[in-house]
Structure 1
Amino acid sequence: MNNDDMELVRGSGNVYRDFDRLNAGLEQARAIVAAKIIGILDDRKLSTRDAEKQTGVSHAEFSRIRNAQLRRFTLDRMITILGKLDEDVEINVTFSSRRHSVAITPQLL
């Protein structure tokens, strides 16, 4: 395959929206929070068992987050887990019109 056979397509910044997922904004927000939780566990070199001891959140939940199995988590539950990891959480949500629909662009600061 050469460069002439490829087409460059610019994404929206939300891969879930690009694949027409129904709750793209929510899925993006959960993925962002999960990435933050995983980063904290990695930075602190915490296993899921160590994180359980520190926070009281079951190691199975941390394991699901590490494996990006986020469907069972509400966004507020994930934010609560961040708080239990002694993290201050500030959420910034912006709304903008996009083809007669509302696009939610979550961002964890």
Structure 2
Amino acid sequence: MRQKVLQVAWSKKEIVVGGNRIFFSQDFSSKIQAERSSYSSLRKQLREKNVRSHIVYPAKLRVFLDVKETIFSSLEDASRSLKETGLLDQGEPVRQDTEAGSAPFKKVS
């Protein structure tokens, strides 16, 4: 339900209540925020190669390749697979920008 409310709120240009404009944003726990931010370096590298991507709740990476989209559950899976497909150079390091990025990820199906 929370996601539906946010999607409707974000689809509106401006929401005003009592003469005041209000904003809606995700409220993630620190653990989820850290996991999501661990993808930032990889996403930057993908943007430089004009590859579209975004983060799916809670902390998965969705990458759009031509007509196919792929969802990765961890930074390690994403970097390994993208290197195998040739999107990232084999020698190109995938940096983890946060301390939490080094924490082990749970596999999400």
Please classify the TM superposition score into its range, dividing by the shorter chain length.
0.3 to 0.5
More strand by share: 2
Q: TM-score, normalised by structure 2?
A: 0.36
More helix by share: 1
Q: TM-score, normalised by structure 1?
A: 0.36
